[in-house]
Structure 1
Amino acid sequence: MKTISTQVPAVDKAVRILHFLAQHDGATYSQIYQGLSLPQSSTSTLLASLVANGLLRQHEGKYFLGLMLYEFGSKSVEQFNLRELAAESLIYLRDKTHLACHLGVLDGNSAIYLAKLESPNAIMVKSWLGKRLSLHCSGLGKVLLAWLPEDKIDELLPDEQLPRHTNHTITTKTAFKKALAEVRKNGWAFDDGEDLEGITCIAVPVFDHSGNVVAAISSSGVAFQMPADKVKSFAQYAIEAATLLTQKIK
């Protein structure tokens, strides 16, 4: 890590600590000040301030990056004109699948559409910019949650019982977490009529330079437009589209 010195030393030290923790799976107070050759007293005060402001969290004697940084990262990507950057990816996915394609992000306790390209087919999925989706029963929601820390998932989904939207909806958090593990394993999520009966969706994560999921790209259609024998190939198209956007963000 390149050390940068400005006229605000406290900020410089805070940034060095954040970089240090980004490269380690948690670190103790002594590991931080010794590893960075920082004064003990001022480091202790600085760590306490970073924890109080949500930039760090403390657990079992170690310090970790705080979830506030994830929120800042998500917002910075939005301000980086994510919709404009995603245009090429959405066109690619629409042309490959001939389905409605969306770009979505996590906003509070739901997923929200930032961009949409309509399907060229006569049969269309009803959706709109700004539409909010339930996290536990949408492809976008699954992808946006799958790479989050477990405590953040519990914060967003505090109850064990989850609302049922269709007969295919996952209705317990325990089962949903198992489904998220499968999403991480596969690299993509599938909504098999879990939010709306007869509507299917494939979603893939978009990562920033730190490996955080900042958005998701999806393709949606009625069930017969996405038959079982085409799901994997459609997922591959979505992965290619999301990878294209990830490369632009990085």
Structure 2
Amino acid sequence: MKTITTPVPALDKAIRVCNFLAEKGNATFSQIYLGVDLPKSSTSTLLNAMVAHGMLRQERDKYSLGLLLFELGNKAIQHFDIKTVATPLLAELRDSTNLTCHLGVLEGGAAIYLLKMESPQAVVVRSWEGKRLSLYSSGLGKVLLAWQEEQEIDDLLPESEPFTAYTEKTITRRAIYKQQLAEIRQRGWACDDEEDCIGVRCISAPVRNAQGDVIAAISVSGVLFQLPEEKWQEIANQVQHTCSLLSTLIQA
């Protein structure tokens, strides 16, 4: 994830701690100051303040995200009108494909799920509203990045931060990744073929505003037998149709 530096270093440090714990789940004092690269002397004061404000919880020697962030996150999501408009459309897509459907946006250097519609089938895809996704290994992340300016792509995925191989299929070479983005722009949809999670595939397409800018993406996810390669185009057509409907509604 891109590290942002502002004229308010205390806030920057708190955000870095939150992002670290969002990824790790929980961590000790030592794991936090080493993982976030903060001075040991000031980390204790920072963590105590974050606990006092409800941003973090402390249980014995471990810290985790606090309920304040959950409450604020829910309120923020409620303010996204696109989520309300998209809900019935994603429900229809879920019912027609029997796949888990997501709506996501680009925010803070990551792809974030705003809405999830769980598949009616017994197969469960582990995800949740508010989850942050990789921009290079997830189908939704690829779509959100594919139509960005070249400089924006480089800023979001700086050379100083190597791609992590989440699975043996994750693309870790930038040249190959950028070639894939060009292919996504040409065909209009993206696929994650077990690149983010072994055994899970995803197909995603863009949602556009009145100016034609990509402002969100819709994806469907499932395990291998639900998304065999011979059905990718058929399912991509359904996802693109839903994206077109949502684009029309938000442009009205």
TM-score range, shorter chain: 0.5 to 0.7
Contact 1:144 1:214 in 2 (8 A): yes
For residue 80 of structure 1, report the CA deviation from its aligned partner. Answer: 5.1
Matched with 1:159 is 159
Q: Partners in 1 of 2:207 and 2:242 — Cα distance?
A: 9
Matched with 1:90 is 90
Aligned amino acid, residue 210 of structure 2 = H
Aligned amino acid, residue 159 of structure 1 = E
Contact 1:103 1:113 in 2 (8 A): yes
Instruction: Give the % identical residues.
Output: 50
Q: Partners in 2 of 1:188 and 1:157 — Cα distance?
A: 20
Matched with 2:143 is 143
Q: Partners in 2 of 1:181 and 1:232 — Cα distance?
A: 18
Encode CA deviations 1:19-46: one digit per residue, 9 max, x unaligned.
Answer: xxxxxxxxxxxxxxxxxxxxxxxxxxxx
For residue 89 of structure 1, report the CA deviation from its aligned partner. Answer: 1.8
Q: Partners in 1 of 2:216 and 2:78 — Cα distance?
A: 9
Matched with 1:132 is 132
Q: How does 1:1-250 map to 2 (within 5 A)?
A: 79=79, 81-159=81-159, 161-250=162-251
Local SS of the residue matching 1:224: coil
Under a length normalisation based on structure 1, what TM-score does the superposition of the two structures give? 0.67
Gaps of 5+ in 2: 1-76
For residue 248 of structure 1, report the CA deviation from its aligned partner. Answer: 0.6
Q: CA RMSD in A?
A: 1.5
Q: Partners in 1 of 2:79 and 2:148 — Cα distance?
A: 21
Aligned amino acid, residue 153 of structure 1 = I
Q: Partners in 2 of 1:182 and 1:196 — Cα distance?
A: 22
For residue 79 of structure 1, report the CA deviation from its aligned partner. Answer: 4.6
- The 4+ residue runs of structure 1 with deviation greater than 4 A are 77-80
Under a length normalisation based on structure 2, what TM-score does the superposition of the two structures give? 0.67
For residue 229 of structure 1, report the CA deviation from its aligned partner. Answer: 1.3
Contact 1:137 1:169 in 2 (8 A): yes
Aligned amino acid, residue 175 of structure 2 = T
Relative to structure 2, which stretch is displaced further, 133-142 or 160-169? 160-169
Relative to structure 2, which stretch is displaced further, 212-221 or 159-168? 159-168
Local SS of the residue matching 1:225: coil
Aligned amino acid, residue 247 of structure 1 = T
Matched with 1:70 is none
Larger Rg computed on CA atoms? 1
Question: 1:78–1:202: structure 2 CA closer, same or farther, 3 Å change rule?
Answer: farther
Matched with 1:6 is none
